[in-house]
């Protein structure tokens, strides 16, 4: 329903979705509203700018990831690049550069390349290969980036591009003779 409002609604409807994403109290709803704005892809630098401070603060991982996707896809190039630099320098929030980068793939031309240039070569190359569909990125690729809960949430949200979790082998019990 939220995606329908984002894609087929008017500017006021999309602004209301941004309001819902920014509210406090129901992280599932807030994450879904931010995700709907990302999926709609309606460029609005003013709407995307409203998310910037919340990305730098301690919002729930799923909400912050949805906001990062929306900012990358719909925000102003200069503001998104400045935000990417700020996030990368923030040890706890640096993993949010990855969804910001993924959103930027659908945003303004060249923004994804500029955000990718902020990342270490190993991470950048692994993500580029994964986003292009050439190979899956290892789950350990993002280990240098920030808080483990946020990294795990980013990998879960972008799971199509990362290797699946290894399954624990079944224990084998030997028969006692």
- Please list the ranges in the chain whose pLDDT falls under 70: 5, 170, 176-177
Residue 8 lies in a domain: no
Residue 94 lies in a domain: yes
- Residue 55 within a domain: yes
Output the pLDDT for position 84. Answer: 93
User: Does any domain span residue 35?
Assistant: no
pLDDT of residue 41: 76
Residue 154 belongs to some domain of the structure: yes
Q: Can you give the pLDDT at residue 2?
A: 75
Residue 3 covered by a domain = no
Cα separation, 174 vs 177, in Å, equals 9
Whole-model pTM: value is: 0.84
Determine, yes or no, domain membership for 101.
yes
Tally of structural domains, the chain: 1
Q: What is the pLDDT of residue 177?
A: 60
Does residue 68 sit within a domain? yes
| Full domain range(s) for residue 84 | 44-161
pLDDT at position 118: 94
Among residues 15, 23, 24, 26, the alpha carbon closest in space to that of 49 is found at 15
pLDDT in tens, 63-107: 999 989 999 988 888 989 999 999 999 988 999 999 999 999 998
Three-state SS for the chain is CHHHHHHHCCHHHHHHHHHHHHCCCCHHHHHHHHHHHHHHCCCCHHHHHCCHHHHHCCCCHHHHHHHHHHHHHHCCHHHHHHHHHHHHHCCCCHHHHHHHHHHHCCCCCCHHHHHHCCCCHHHHHHHHHHHCCCCCECHHHHCCCCCHHHHHHHHHHCHHHECCCCCCCCCCCCCCC
User: Which pair of structure tokens corresponds to residue 158?
Assistant: 């972008």
């Amino acid at each position: 329903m939220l995606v329908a409002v984002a894609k087929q609604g008017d500017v006021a409807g999309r602004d209301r979705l941004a309001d819902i994403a920014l509210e406090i109290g129901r992280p599932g709803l807030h994450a879904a509203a931010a995700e709907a704005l990302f999926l709609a892809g309606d460029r609005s630098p003013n709407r995307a700018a409203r998310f910037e401070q919340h990305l730098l603060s301690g919002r729930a991982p799923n909400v912050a990831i949805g906001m990062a996707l929306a900012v990358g896809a719909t925000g102003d190039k200069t503001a998104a690049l400045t935000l990417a630099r700020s996030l990368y320098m923030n040890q706890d929030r640096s993993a949010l550069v990855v969804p910001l980068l993924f959103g930027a793939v659908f945003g303004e031309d060249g923004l994804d390349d500029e955000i990718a240039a902020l990342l270490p070569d190993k991470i950048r190359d692994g993500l580029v290969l994964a986003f292009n569909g050439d190979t899956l990125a290892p789950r350990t690729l993002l280990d240098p980036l920030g808080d483990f809960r946020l990294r795990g949430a980013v990998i879960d949200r972008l799971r199509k591009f990362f290797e699946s979790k290894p399954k624990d082998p079944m224990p084998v019990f030997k028969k006692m003779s």
